[in-house]
Structure 1
Amino acid sequence: MFAQIWKCKAILGYLSDDKCTICLDDESSDLNIVELLTASDELVLTDLVDYIQEHIISLNKEWIPKFTLDSTIISFEQSLMISSWIDLKEGTLMYTSQQENPYNLLLLLRGSRHGFGVEEFREKVFNQGPTIIVIHIAGSKDIIGGYNPLDWTGSNKFNQSSESFIFSFRSDKRSSITTLSRVIKEKSAISDDDGHFIGFGHGDLKVFQGVCQRKDYMCPIHESPSFQIFDYEVFKVVKKEF
């Protein structure tokens, strides 16, 4: 009963003040915070959701693994696949459960919630450490994305990496195809631009330009060299504390 009262009190306080002034340190248990985040997301209280997620990220506590994946684009199984690729695991060595998975994916940005512009990317994603970008391509069920093990900073230069990769999950009525494309030209792995050239390689995946043409990675991730975004998400990759 206390948890329900606290949750209602927090949401009503937010609505009445039109800002986030609730305290998440003292009377809020771990479970309460999880339930408050879920309720706020269902009510589309964007600022409150952002506030709670920033609080969670700042804590980086042991209970973070209890969180379910907050994505409207990728499935839980696909998130395990991406986590496996981060650790160079493929085939029978891939993670099959959240208990095995050493990472949590915390949502930083969703286009349909926060906006699709470069400005929103700068505000939500810059200087957050390793991230995963996933894009739902308009007019299809296809998903493309990439992993950046470095910070996005807007340095307007290419950052070197041997660990970055891009990928796709494609499906039609007959089959599903998964593509993993690791970097081969490490010096141009990450296009750390401050504007519309943000992405991977010289064109392997440019988020805001809608380009995915193989240049610096092993193979193309989509049949077409261009795409339009239906929605996209960016996740902060957080290492669990076991």
Structure 2
Amino acid sequence: MFPFIKFYNLTSKGFLDKVYPYRKTLPKELRENLVKYFLNPNNQSNKKSKGIDSRIIAIQHAELISKWIDKLEITDEMKNPYEFKLILRGSRDGFSPNKFHEICDNQPHTIAIIKVKDNSEILGGYNPIIWKSDGNYGVTKDSFIFSFKSKSNVKNYVLSQVIEEELAICNMVDFGPTFGFDDLAIFGTDFYSGSCCNRSDYEKEIRETNDEFSVEEYEIFQIMKD
């Protein structure tokens, strides 16, 4: 039952009334992370953010990604949070490169969120420029890729900034959202089954393995501010 509860979208009162009485039934790591989160007043001040329509990440992931975009420290407060507008969901729109490019080409400021099949990993990347299908690379100094070990622990992450600006964004027509040569490469005919992460043009590895993986779900968000 726990994967379907959006814990981090709750207010402190909602957590106290609806979750805390049943805390002993929660996995220990999740329970401790939730208590720390809802005891932190900075997290509650950020409830003014607009929420996120995601099956993969929660609001606290979106807030952290927003800070990375604005190059803020983790402890900094965002006075005007980004809105994450869902424009593609694999389980709704399909897992083909054609559909990705049909929906996402020419859309600036997008976040790709990928749930790896058969484990708890979440991968993603930020593209501040537009996606294309021209077979060339998009140039930017502001893109980054990242990973979270699981949805329940936002603090366990890897953030990797682009180092080869000329190769930041890969615009291959047969690929989904791809960053660098294959730092985060999403491709394959069946649920992007040939996807992989091999460090090349970004500063860090975001996975502990270079093995190929399949995509269980993926979402593309366009970010904007009022």
TM-score by shorter chain over 0.5: yes
Indicate the residue corresponding to 1:87 in structure 2.
Answer: 70
Quote the RMSD (CA, aligned, Å): 2.3
Q: Does 1:212 align with 2:193?
A: no
Structure 2 counterpart of 1:230, from 210, 216, 222 = 216
Check conservation: 2:97, 2:176, Cα contact below 8 A: no
Check conservation: 1:144, 1:167, Cα contact below 8 A: yes
> d(CA) in 1 for partners of 2:152 and 2:72?
29
Indicate the residue corresponding to 1:71 in structure 2.
Answer: 54
> d(CA) in 2 for partners of 1:134 and 1:174?
16
- TM-score after normalising by structure 1: 0.66
For the residue of structure 2 that corresponds to 1:128, the secondary structure is: coil
Query: Once the 2 structures are TM-superposed, how far is the Cα of residue 93 of structure 1 from its aligned partner?
Result: 2.0
Change (3 A) 1:172 1:148: closer
Query: Once the 2 structures are TM-superposed, how far is the Cα of residue 80 of structure 1 from its aligned partner?
Result: 0.4
Query: Once the 2 structures are TM-superposed, how far is the Cα of residue 176 of structure 1 from its aligned partner?
Result: 5.8
> d(CA) in 2 for partners of 1:175 and 1:132?
17
Deviation sequence 1:56-115 (CA, Å, 0-9, x none)? xxxxxxxxx9853110001100000001100111232254xxxx3431110011001110
Query: Once the 2 structures are TM-superposed, how far is the Cα of residue 172 of structure 1 from its aligned partner?
Result: 9.8
Aligned residues: 172
For the residue of structure 2 that corresponds to 1:206, the secondary structure is: coil
> Is there any run of 5+ residues in structure 1 with no aligned partner, and where?
1-64
Check conservation: 1:190, 1:200, Cα contact below 8 A: yes
Structure 2 counterpart of 1:108, from 66, 84, 87 = 87
Deviation sequence 1:204-238 (CA, Å, 0-9, x none)? 00112401110010101111222211100000111
Letter in 1 for 2:220: V
User: What does 1:154-193 align with in structure 2 at a 5 Å threshold?
Assistant: 154-171=133-150, 177-193=156-172
Structure 2 counterpart of 1:121, from 96, 100, 119 = 100
Query: Once the 2 structures are TM-superposed, how far is the Cα of residue 141 of structure 1 from its aligned partner?
Result: 1.2
Change (3 A) 1:91 1:192: same
Deviation sequence 1:104-157 (CA, Å, 0-9, x none)? 110011001110001110121111111000000011111000000000021211
For the residue of structure 1 that corresponds to 2:75, the secondary structure is: helix
Check conservation: 2:67, 2:74, Cα contact below 8 A: no
> d(CA) in 1 for partners of 2:153 and 2:56?
20
Deviation sequence 1:139-192 (CA, Å, 0-9, x none)? 111100000000002121111110000000104999962110000111101112
For the residue of structure 2 that corresponds to 1:92, the secondary structure is: coil
Between the aligned residues of both structures, percent identity stands at 38
Structure 1 runs, 4 residues or longer, greater than 4 Å off: 172-176
Structure 2 counterpart of 1:136, from 86, 90, 115 = 115
> d(CA) in 1 for partners of 2:50 and 2:159?
26
- TM-score after normalising by structure 2: 0.70
Indicate the residue corresponding to 2:27 in structure 1.
Answer: none
Letter in 1 for 2:170: S
Check conservation: 1:135, 1:232, Cα contact below 8 A: yes
> d(CA) in 1 for partners of 2:159 and 2:80?
19
